[in-house]
Structure 1
Amino acid sequence: MLPVTLDRTSGEPLPAQLAGQVRALVLSGTLGTGDRLPSSRALAADLGVSRAVTEQAYDQLTAEGWLEARRGSGTYVTATRTPTTAVAPRVTSRPTRPTSRPTGATSRPTGATSRLDTGTPFFDPRLEPGWRRAWREVSVAAPPRGYDDPRGLLELREALAARLGRTRGLELHPDEIIVTAGTTDGLRALLPELRPGPVAVEDPGYRAAAETVLTYGREVVDLPAVETVGDLGDAVAAYVTPAHQHPLGRVMPAADRLALLEAARGADAVVIEDDYDSEFRYDVAPVPAMARLDRGRVVYLGTAAKSVVPTLRLGWLVAPPDLHELILRRRTITHAGAAWPSQRALLTLLRDGWLDRAVRSARRVYAERAPRVAEAMSPYATLAGPLAGMYSTWLLPEADARRARDAARVAGFEINLLSTYARSSGLTGLVIGFGGVTEAELDQALAALTGALAR
């Protein structure tokens, strides 16, 4: 029997309690790689709960990469607290700036009407009254008489701390949070405070992150997005999207998270966790933030771009204490900070429960649209990662991807090539977003894509 105890008087669901305690047993070394867990039926009987509780907990931990279900054998631990080997090669250096881009990588065609991208979320029209109410409250609220607190509005930081504790498992004091003007603003605040050296960025990966690193005069080194990283070389930071790798969609397995943290400790580097859309899992609960594993080594970046709208330009940063103080000192001197009206509006959206309703609504829409995209694309391409979030990525030859992309453009839709996210990985395919279009537009775009691929 596992040494776990469930509290039925707690507000935390029983499956979440069980998953958290098993996760803690792995991290403490009580459970090690290869250990076999009781069956979900046996554990349910031992704990006096329904089998659904243990099954949900096991499913969650399997999705996060802590456990592995072996058909006909049982459920086994797959990650340990301290990795002993580095199975991935050393990251390789890159020039400070790319010399060229693939033809047509960033240009938008004349007449394109809709973007099927990774950054445009679904906005439920039924939530428009609450959105307007938030801005009415901004219009009657008294703005600060001078420059605001560079950390952001205290009330907003309090609301964010409560939300991050509830949804991401991060127990934070409001003063540990710095409100930013989005993810890249948080990255811009962090980069000057790091010691000299290159920054490792996932490849393929978030293009804005790599460009921001280059803009600050730092070299970018390519961090393999689908391999275990055991050596960061001379990199001073590693930028990753562990909950939903951008753009491949992969969840970083627990063992790989631990290996990356160990590599960061060996290099005296920080891990920059971009947690951009973790709330939009359809199958299990959101994967816990990587920052939970080592608050002294991980810089956590969050954003409202995917849950509200990108143009709100708001995010949040949680850094280890030494970096937090350096960032705050510079922001105080330069009067840097997120726009007060946007902060005030987000505070109202959080207090009214609007944001929770928006996330639930969008998650339902994405859960319905993602299988439609998969059904259309599966005959022609290979899915790069599990279905989650507001986009999916499909692997296929570059020539086929370009032919399909061009056909979609003719039909009035802009779809990104996977090659524009890659530097040295050489991966090719299509990255298909489905949040910012109507049902009819999605069907039209898929028809254009599959028509071209069928030809």
Structure 2
Amino acid sequence: MQTTSRSPALPVHLDRTAATPLPAQLAADVRRLVAAGTLRRGARLPASRALALELGVSRSVVTQAYEQLVAEGWLDASHGSGTFVAGTATAHPSPAVAQQAAAATTDPRLVRLDTGTPWIDPRHRAGWSRAWRDVAAATPPAGHDDPCGIPDLRAAIAERLGRLRGVECGADDVVVTQGTTDGLRALLEVLPAGAVAVEDPGYRAAVATVRSAGRAVVDVPARGTPTVPPDVVATYVTPAHQHPLGHVLPAADRVALLAAARERGAVVVEDDYDSEFRYDVAPVPALASLDRTGVAYLGTASKSVSPSLRLGWLVPPPHLLDAVRSARAVRHEGISWPVQRAFLSMLRDGYVDRVVRSARRVYADRAPRVAGVLAPHAEPAGPSAGMYSTWLLPPDRADAAVRSAARAGFDVPLLSDYARSSGLTGLVVGFGGVSDRELDAALGALVRGLDDRPSRRRPR
């Protein structure tokens, strides 16, 4: 179910379940309104504070959108007077201008410091190319492939899960998917009717997937001893590296969570999205290694190889496996054979292990650099691990930092973007998908927004 906010003062629509950041959505809607002539040159836009209140978002969402549109020439801003449609804006633009405005919805022109883009060492490019040459030399199946995936790939994944995550499973237990959300959808389809508990703050795509399946989302605190609310059929967790706070679920809490789920008759959905990138301690065994009967295990190649590969895996509890397999077979939902075949080659060739090891070294170097810059200004939400770190800040300071980063050309997520009922606020700083130079520039911009001490300001 889509969550939409509307403003009577400005006919815009914000979808909190979409992957596109809210400031980019707002900016795109305003561009379309100007391009269509609905907002004419010289028209005054609502004040950022008033529009934010009507939309039910933080003021930084509106200010970031306005600042981007001013920079692009769509709007003019005058301190003390307001924000207006630029005098040079065309009330009836050419098709090329309208097309540019629509394209900007997915191209906010900012370098994203997100939590999902990995670092891929360019020195390993040969291994990537070799895998696709193997695909070209192989013979594809004549008809529809196994809806659960190529048997050899499922066997390789099962072996890897047993070796690295302690999950005892065989090839027949593994279902290859189009990533984490596809695996979650496959599981939700075969569960009884009922709500699903999701950590708050938590993974936004998981929330959107649960809602799109027609199920209610029940918020459970991401911090503290986990609970399984009554009347839920599943509880979604990220125990190896809580997304986005970053902590590891302690052993005692793991046992308590599994016991509570058994008592409620609920399935624990374990999203093990980046456990291979711990560099402070050895990876903690997966929840599924403790209880295969009550845990559905989700994994992905997005954090190790590439998000664009769109490949993951689901190991459902044994009692749900046949239902998942049957549902996928009826709809011919097998994953692209070339993608599966390439990933199998990457596993056999050792490419996946090489890119993981090199990325782990890069993250281990970047995490303390981020901490060294942000620790004087903010409180870490959890230990450093993976390709991002989260920092707790009051909302006004977090907004100031994000605005400063946007002015410098960087998109840094707010912690509040991941929250629903939680009051936690701060920054979520990804450092995987950027260069060292971009990371340093982004950190500098964040600090400029956070450092409001007069003694640290340069004279004009």
TM over 0.5: yes
Secondary structure at the counterpart of residue 226 of structure 1: coil
Q: Which amino acid is 2:22 matched to?
A: T
Q: How do 1:177-196 and structure 2 match up within 5 A? A: 177-196=174-193
Report the counterpart of residue 218 of structure 1 in structure 2. Answer: 215
Q: Deviation digits for residues 405-431 of structure 1, max 9, x if unmatched?
A: 111111111110000100111110000
**Aligned counterparts of 1:200 and 1:307: Cα–Cα separation in 2:** 27
Secondary structure at the counterpart of residue 195 of structure 1: coil
**Aligned counterparts of 1:134 and 1:383: Cα–Cα separation in 2:** 40
Report the counterpart of residue 379 of structure 2 in structure 1. Answer: 382
Q: Deviation digits for residues 372-392 of structure 1, max 9, x if unmatched?
A: 000000111100000000000
**Aligned counterparts of 1:284 and 1:250: Cα–Cα separation in 2:** 12
1:141, CA displacement in angstroms? 1.3
**1:346 aligned to which of 325, 343, 346:** 343
Report the counterpart of residue 127 of structure 1 in structure 2. Answer: 124
Contact 1:304 / 1:312 at 8 angstroms: preserved in 2? Answer: yes
1:451 to 2:367 alignment: no
1:97, CA displacement in angstroms? 6.2
1:277, CA displacement in angstroms? 0.0
Report the counterpart of residue 293 of structure 2 in structure 1. Answer: 296
Q: Which amino acid is 2:202 matched to?
A: G
1:142 to 2:139 alignment: yes
Secondary structure at the counterpart of residue 276 of structure 1: coil
Report the counterpart of residue 240 of structure 1 in structure 2. Answer: 237
Q: How do 1:299-338 and structure 2 match up within 5 A? A: 299-338=296-335
Q: How do 1:337-416 and structure 2 match up within 5 A? A: 337-416=334-413
1:343, CA displacement in angstroms? 0.5
Q: Deviation digits for residues 223-269 of structure 1, max 9, x if unmatched?
A: 11002134421110000000000000010111111111111111100
Q: Deviation digits for residues 260-306 of structure 1, max 9, x if unmatched?
A: 11111111000000000000111221110000111100000000000
Secondary structure at the counterpart of residue 144 of structure 2: coil
Contact 1:105 / 1:417 at 8 angstroms: preserved in 2? Answer: no
1:434, CA displacement in angstroms? 0.2
Report the counterpart of residue 424 of structure 2 in structure 1. Answer: 427
Q: Which amino acid is 2:165 matched to?
A: R
1:117, CA displacement in angstroms? 0.3
Secondary structure at the counterpart of residue 22 of structure 2: coil
**Aligned counterparts of 2:283 and 2:127: Cα–Cα separation in 1:** 25
**Aligned counterparts of 2:340 and 2:15: Cα–Cα separation in 1:** 38
Q: How do 1:149-164 and structure 2 match up within 5 A? A: 149-164=146-161
Q: Which amino acid is 1:204 matched to?
A: P
Q: Which structure is higher in RCO with an 8 Å CA cutoff and minimum separation 6? A: 1
Unpaired segments of 5 or more residues in structure 2?
6-13, 25-64, 69-107, 453-460
Contact 1:213 / 1:219 at 8 angstroms: preserved in 2? Answer: yes
Contact 2:292 / 2:318 at 8 angstroms: preserved in 1? Answer: no
**Aligned counterparts of 1:157 and 1:448: Cα–Cα separation in 2:** 45
**1:199 aligned to which of 157, 175, 196:** 196
Report the counterpart of residue 29 of structure 1 in structure 2. Answer: none
**Aligned counterparts of 1:379 and 1:127: Cα–Cα separation in 2:** 37
**Aligned counterparts of 1:422 and 1:230: Cα–Cα separation in 2:** 18
1:99, CA displacement in angstroms? 5.2
TM-score of the aligned structures, taking structure 1 as reference length: 0.77
**Aligned counterparts of 1:97 and 1:257: Cα–Cα separation in 2:** 32
Contact 1:102 / 1:420 at 8 angstroms: preserved in 2? Answer: no
Q: Which amino acid is 1:377 matched to?
A: L
Contact 1:299 / 1:317 at 8 angstroms: preserved in 2? Answer: yes
Q: Which amino acid is 1:106 matched to?
A: L
RMSD: 1.5
**Aligned counterparts of 1:97 and 1:137: Cα–Cα separation in 2:** 42
1:106 to 2:106 alignment: no
Contact 2:2 / 2:15 at 8 angstroms: preserved in 1? Answer: no
Q: Could you tell which deviates more after superposition, 205-214 or 403-412?
A: 403-412
**Aligned counterparts of 1:196 and 1:355: Cα–Cα separation in 2:** 38
**Aligned counterparts of 1:278 and 1:374: Cα–Cα separation in 2:** 20
TM-score of the aligned structures, taking structure 2 as reference length: 0.76
1:249 to 2:165 alignment: no
Report the counterpart of residue 34 of structure 1 in structure 2. Answer: none
Contact 1:112 / 1:414 at 8 angstroms: preserved in 2? Answer: no
**Aligned counterparts of 1:380 and 1:349: Cα–Cα separation in 2:** 42
Report the counterpart of residue 71 of structure 1 in structure 2. Answer: none
Secondary structure at the counterpart of residue 179 of structure 1: strand
**Aligned counterparts of 1:305 and 1:102: Cα–Cα separation in 2:** 24
1:107, CA displacement in angstroms? 3.2
**Aligned counterparts of 2:315 and 2:341: Cα–Cα separation in 1:** 20
Report the counterpart of residue 60 of structure 2 in structure 1. Answer: none
- Structure 1 stretches of 4+ with a deviation exceeding 6 A read 101-104
1:215, CA displacement in angstroms? 0.5
**Aligned counterparts of 1:152 and 1:397: Cα–Cα separation in 2:** 47
Contact 1:112 / 1:409 at 8 angstroms: preserved in 2? Answer: no
Q: How do 1:15-164 and structure 2 match up within 5 A? A: 98=3, 100=5, 105-108=21-24, 112-164=109-161
Alpha-carbon distance change, 137 to 107 in structure 1, aligned in 2, over 3 angstroms: farther
**Aligned counterparts of 2:158 and 2:370: Cα–Cα separation in 1:** 35
Q: Percent identity?
A: 62
1:106, CA displacement in angstroms? 2.6
Count how many residue pairs are aligned between Structure 1 and Structure 2.
Answer: 360
**Aligned counterparts of 1:230 and 1:331: Cα–Cα separation in 2:** 32
**Aligned counterparts of 1:223 and 1:423: Cα–Cα separation in 2:** 10
1:102, CA displacement in angstroms? 10
Report the counterpart of residue 73 of structure 1 in structure 2. Answer: none
